[in-house]
């Protein structure tokens, strides 16, 4: 492996500006925060940061919802017709 000091990565292509623009336009539909900014000049690092925040918040929601469903399943009143619906659906 040649030691080229100017090369800092392990040789894989870096994210290009075009790809950032593509990512922004698609993420714009998913993230309301970016929508109102000046269209072409959103920084790459800001986009990545918003993306990471969004993914983290989605992970949290999945976790919270799993917990909530776990509690709900525990508290179903056994004899009601509603419990029968839930039971037939997911149990």
Partner 1 sequence: MRAPQSIKQEFLKKWILGLQLCDFAKQNMSMLERKKAIKLSADIAIASTRNGMTCWSRALVAKASRDYGDKVLVERMLASESEKLKKVSSIGLIAPNKWVIIRSKKILRKSRRARRVRSSVPQSVLAKSIAKKMVKKRTQVLKSLVPGGEFMDDISLIEETLDYIISLRAQVDVMQTLAKATDLLNERAKVQAQVGHLALAAESTASPTARLISDPSEAFFKQTRESPQVTRHQGHRSSS
Residue 61 as a binder of partner 1 (CB under 8 A): the answer is yes
Q: How far is the CB of 39 from partner 1 (least distance, A)?
A: 18
- CA–CA gap between residue 55 and residue 41 (Å, rounded): 23
Contact string 12-51 vs partner 1 (x = CB under 8 A): xxxx---x--xx--xx--x-xx---------xxxx-xxxx
- CA–CA gap between residue 79 and residue 40 (Å, rounded): 60
| Binding-site member from 36, 38, 41, 70 for partner 1 (CB under 8 A) | 70
CB contact at 8 A, 42 and 34: yes
| Binding-site member from 38, 40, 41, 77 for partner 1 (CB under 8 A) | 77
Joined tokens for residue 85: 């619906």
Q: Return the number of other C-beta atoms located less than 10 Å from residue 21's C-beta.
A: 15
Closest to 28 in 3D by CA, of 41, 19, 37: 37
Which residues sit at the interface with partner 1, rule CB under 8 A?
1, 3, 5, 8-10, 12-15, 19, 22-23, 26-27, 30, 32-33, 43-46, 48-77, 80-91
């Amino acid at each position: 492996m040649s030691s080229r000091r100017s090369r800092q990565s392990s040789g894989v292509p870096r994210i290009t500006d075009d790809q950032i623009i593509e990512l922004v336009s698609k993420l714009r539909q998913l993230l309301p925060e970016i929508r109102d900014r000046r269209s072409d000049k959103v920084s790459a690092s800001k986009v990545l940061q918003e993306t990471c925040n969004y993914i983290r918040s989605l992970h949290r929601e999945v976790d919270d919802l799993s917990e909530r469903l776990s509690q709900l399943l525990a508290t179903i009143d056994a004899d009601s017709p509603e419990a029968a619906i839930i039971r037939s659906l997911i149990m």
